[in-house]
Amino acid sequence: MFARLNMNEKMERLIESAAEIIAAARRIAVLTGAGVSAESGVGTFRDAQTGLWSRFDPQQLASQEGFAADPGRVWRWYMHRLEMVERARPNPGHAALAALEAMTPTFTLITQNVDDLHERAGSRNVLHLHGRIERFHCNGCGLPYTLRMEDRDAPMPPTCTFCTDYIRPSVVWFGELLPAQELAEAQRAAETCDVFLVIGTSGVVYPAAHLPVMAKRRAAPIIEVNPEESALSEMAEIWLSGPSGALLPRLVEAVRLRRAGQENPR
Ligand code: BJW
Ligand code: ZN
């Protein structure tokens, strides 16, 4: 019977099953990764980098070692990505998550992304585990720094007026600690949620990738949205295989209809 259903009917059934779980939940936690911003034109990490930067491994650029080896190269990479983020607009996937938050009593959006597209789409309770690309501080003494127009095209990072070390973006590089308060709040949300959504992440970077494990241990079902299988797919009760910009609006609309039915039972 199932084999005779076409792909769209199968997806419709999966969306309905996921919507049933989500509509019954009072506490929802969501983990997003670069894939949720892919349809806004912001490149992901582990898919091939485009243009000028295709030769470089992002994992090497996003580290103290990479910065020490070539601060100018790392600076120019971040200025390029900052421009990409500033030009980008939230996509229907971001908007659907904001709509889901508005209809849920307790909703925590945990993002690994350094862009602000969730906020621009209207999300309120957003935890940025890996920092923010539009913020800067000194790599030596930590003093905050306000980016100037001339810094954007500069071949080298600006330097700190206090200690002369280089300025860097306020993002979390490999080997660095995540912001303690955001991580604690994310862990709390994972441990107390009724359902955990994993959207557009390869699930290979820790400690973010451990959050769905924590939720699962407390018996919360995991629902994943990703066109490709990820390191977390195996633990998901439901995997919605496709782009989040297309699938999340369908999912959230199905949740809305069910919630409306719960409020006005016939
Ligand atoms: C779509 C789509 C569409 C496409 N719709 N989906 C435990 C075990 C092993 C190692 C460690 C461990 N604990 C810590 C570590 C070390 C390390 C780590 O995890 N290493 C692993 C790689 C092995 N972690 C750390 O160092 C962290 N710090 C830490 O733990 O401190 C304590 C400590 C230190 C040292 C030793 C031990 C402990 C810090 C991690 C910081 C990560 N930083 C970056 C850069 C941020 C700044 C910047 O943006 O430049 O964060 S790396 C990069 O990866 C970035 C991302 O947020 C992160 C995750 O990537 P993401 O979002 O999953 O993107 P992709 O590209 O990987 O995947 C995109 C997905 O989207 C794909 O699945 C596509 O299919 C999908 N997709 N189109 C939906 N339309
Ligand atoms: Zn300094």
What percent of the chain stands above pLDDT 90?
A: 88
201 band by pLDDT with thresholds 50, 70 and 90: very high
Report the pLDDT value the prediction gives residue 32, as an integer from 0 to 100: 98
Report the pLDDT value the prediction gives residue 1, as an integer from 0 to 100: 47
Q: What Cα–Cα distance (Å) separates residue 80 from each residue in 75, 176, 206?
A: 9, 22, 26
Report the pLDDT value the prediction gives residue 264, as an integer from 0 to 100: 77
pLDDT at residue 39 tops 90? yes
Rounded-to-integer distance, Cα 20 and Cα 89, Å: 30
Rounded-to-integer distance, Cα 145 and Cα 50, Å: 29
Q: What Cα–Cα distance (Å) separates residue 130 from each residue in 106, 183, 203, 206, 223?
A: 22, 10, 14, 11, 22
Question: Ligand 2 centre and the CA of 139: distance in Å?
Answer: 7
Q: Which of 80, 130, 137, 210 is catalytic?
A: 130
Instruction: Summarize pLDDT for 65-80 with one digit per residue, the tens.
Output: 999 999 999 999 999 9
Instruction: Summarize pLDDT for 131-166 with one digit per residue, the tens.
Output: 999 999 999 999 999 999 999 999 999 999 999 999
Report the pLDDT value the prediction gives residue 57, as an integer from 0 to 100: 81
pLDDT at residue 10 tops 90? yes
Instruction: Summarize pLDDT for 205-263 with one digit per residue, the tens.
Output: 999 999 999 999 999 999 999 999 999 999 999 999 999 999 999 999 999 999 998 87
Instruction: Summarize pLDDT for 170-198 with one digit per residue, the tens.
Output: 999 999 999 999 999 999 999 999 999 99
Instruction: Ligand 1 pocket test: pick from 37, 44, 178 the residue with the most ligand atoms within 8 Å of its Cβ.
Output: 44
pTM for the structure as a whole: 0.96
Residues touching ligand 1 (Cβ under 6 Å) are 33-35, 38-39, 44-47, 62, 112, 114, 130, 171-178, 200-202, 204-207, 225-228, 230, 243-245
Report the pLDDT value the prediction gives residue 96, as an integer from 0 to 100: 99
Protein residue with its CA nearest to atom 10 in ligand 1: 206
